[in-house]
Structure 1
Amino acid sequence: MMQDVPYEQWANYLEAIMVKYNVRPQLLLDLGCGTGTITQLFAEKGYDTIGIDLSEDMLIVAKEKAQKSKLDILYLCQDMTSFELYGTVGCIISVCDSLNYITDEQELLKVFKLINNYLEPGGLFIFDLNTEYKFEKILGDNTFAQAYERCAYIWDNYYYEDEKMNEYHLTLFVEENNNYSRYEELHYEKAYSIDCIKLLLKEAGLKLEAIYNDNTFEECEATSERIYIVAREQMKEKQ
């Protein structure tokens, strides 16, 4: 499934946002880094990078990729709702709808407060979200399937409008040793309104700079499926 994800395009777009807001971080944190593809792309661009993820299995893959590419990347196995760093960073990114997986508003507020704490004065926080429109109108209560050369998947999706919760059951078939192995995954993502995100960012002490439609510098619309939010650290500047 992930071979369709435009990682390089995302990394270039994130860097363009940093340029637009005049931030060139010496140290960048990728929160919810998974197998480290985005983290590694920024390391290849010359940034000092840290990746945080809760999955030890994904971090094993990330470390192997970094070692193979001879890149010095610090990977930490931590929960993003309680992560710790040794100091501050100039920019924090979180993509691949990682923050939709935080399904409680107060837990998301904890994440935002930690981000504010670990950002340098004036540092940027850039993250993406799947939108309510995407969950309700695009994914809805539908089944999706796709076959590739050596794998296939079936995606059974359910959206609960009252709870603004998206549930999907993923069945994967992966070719291994001339046979296909079957794997089952269950995922939950929360749909957050823009008003809710604005309130949580403000409560965390972060200044909202912009909300963009996916991979553009255009304002998001009612039919946007993925949005990017740009926020800036501001409180430490006033101390």
Structure 2
Amino acid sequence: MSFSTLADFYDSINGSAYEPYADFLEKSFKLSTIPVKEVLDLGCGTGGICAILADRGFDMVGVDISTDMLMVARERNLGKNTLLLCQDMCEFELYGTVQAVYSSFDCLNYITENKGLKQVFVLVRNYLESGGVFVFDINTEFRYTQILDGKSFVYETDDNLAVWRSAFDKEEKLCEFEIDNFTKLSGNKYIRESETQIQRLYTHQEIMDFAEGFDLVEQSGGKGFDGCDEAEKTYYVFRKR
């Protein structure tokens, strides 16, 4: 999953949530038992939250597998204390440790196998200092079955149009998104690009099983920063022992 056709749309979908999500993260960082200065963003996308936190004085590292997303992120983070790395979340490597890690906008749901998400927790534990926090959100079963399954969504900007069609397989716990992106060239001419993305539903017990070496210090089902209903997202804050 590369988000290659959606780099231009990512900010129009999530952009209004960057500031409030950064506020939530700063509040969550206070649950760390150590001062937080170096922060890792797993699945940083176009680097919107990275840029905000860098402006607030944090030393940022952003990891994303999409070169298209990182091109936007690099431009946005020019002159800021942000290091951007093109890496798979399940295999990332850092130059040193950090005091906080976060993954926003249900990014972890794009890891579709238990062993993959378990490996993310292992890597986070390796690079996170004791007392530091791991903050993330995941989509709930309600979101997949009641909001996304069988639905279509349209996102439009001046020069682009994206159409999402989603279907959730309850037995496999997988949600498939078929995405068509239309980019305007001139007049009535458009380029069409298509891709398929898949998300996996994870239960609370699965998350707890993966979190070896961590303590759960906060869990909430608050309203999503991207406009989701209260039942659509679960937010976790884990602290490394």
Count of aligned pairs between the two proteins? 225
Give the 3 Å change call, closer, same or farther, for CA 22–30 of structure 1 in structure 2. same
Partner of 1:108: 117
Shift of the 38–215 alpha-carbon distance from structure 1 to 2, 3 Å rule, reads farther
Contact 2:32–2:132 (8 Å) recurs in 1: no
The verdict on how the C-alpha distance between 1:52 and 1:147 changes in structure 2, with shifts beyond 3 A counting, is: closer
Task: Classify the secondary structure of the residue corresponding to 2:207.
Answer: helix
CA distance in 2, matches of 1:14, 1:215: 15
Q: Tell me what 1:237 maps to.
A: none
Partner in structure 2 of residue 172 of structure 1: 181
| 2:197 is the counterpart of 1:190 | no
Q: Which of 14, 38, 62 is 2:25 aligned to? A: 14
| Residue 237 of structure 2 is aligned to residue 227 of structure 1 | no
- On the 8 A contact 1:13/1:215 being kept in 2, the answer is no
* 2:180 and 2:194 in contact (8 A); partners too: yes
Verify the 8 A CA contact 2:64 2:87 in the aligned structure 1: yes
Q: Distance in 2 between matches of 1:129 and 1:228?
A: 7
AA of the residue aligned to 1:233 = K
SS of the aligned residue for 2:195 comes to strand
Shift of 1:198: 1.1
CA deviations 1:177-229 (Å, max 9, x no partner) are: 4543222121000000111111111xx3111112112358xxxx9x6101111
**2: CA distance between counterparts of 1:156 and 1:103?**
19
For residue 232 of structure 2, what is the amino acid of its counterpart? E
Does the 8 Å contact 1:211/1:229 carry over to 2? yes
Q: Is 1:77 the equivalent of 2:86?
A: yes
Q: Does 1:208 align with 2:219?
A: no
Q: How far apart, in 1, do the equivalents of 2:170 and 2:51 lie?
A: 37
1:140 partner amino acid:
D
Tell me the equivalent position of 1:54. 65
The gaps in structure 1 that reach 5 residues or longer are: 235-239
Deviation per residue, 1:68-103 (Å, 9 max, x gap): xx2131111111111111221000011121110110
Query: Following superposition of structure 1 onto structure 2, how do residues 83-162 of structure 1 map, counting pairs within 5 Å?
Result: 83-162=92-171
After TM superposition, the score normalised by the length of structure 2 is: 0.87
- For residues 148 and 29 of structure 1, what CA distance do their matches in structure 2 show? 30
1:38 aligned residue (49, 55, 60): 49
Residue 29 of structure 1 aligns to a residue in which SS?
A: strand
Alpha-carbon distance in structure 1 between the residues aligned to 2:43 and 2:88 = 9
Q: Which residue of 1 aligns with 2:6?
A: none
Q: What's the TM-score, normalizing by structure 1?
A: 0.87
Letter of the 2:45 counterpart:
G
Measure how far apart 1:23 and its partner are. 5.2
CA distance in 1, matches of 2:210, 2:126: 15
Are residues 176 and 13 of structure 1, via their aligned partners in 2, closer, same or farther at CA, if it must alter by over 3 Å? farther
- Give the whole-Å Cα distance in 2 for the aligned partners of 1:215 and 1:43: 25
Q: Which moved more, 1:50-59 or 1:98-107?
A: 50-59
- Give distance in 2, aligned partners of 1:155 and 1:66: 29
**What is the alpha-carbon root mean square deviation over aligned residues?**
1.9
Residue 151 (structure 1) shift: 2.3
Q: What is the deviation of 1:22?
A: 5.5
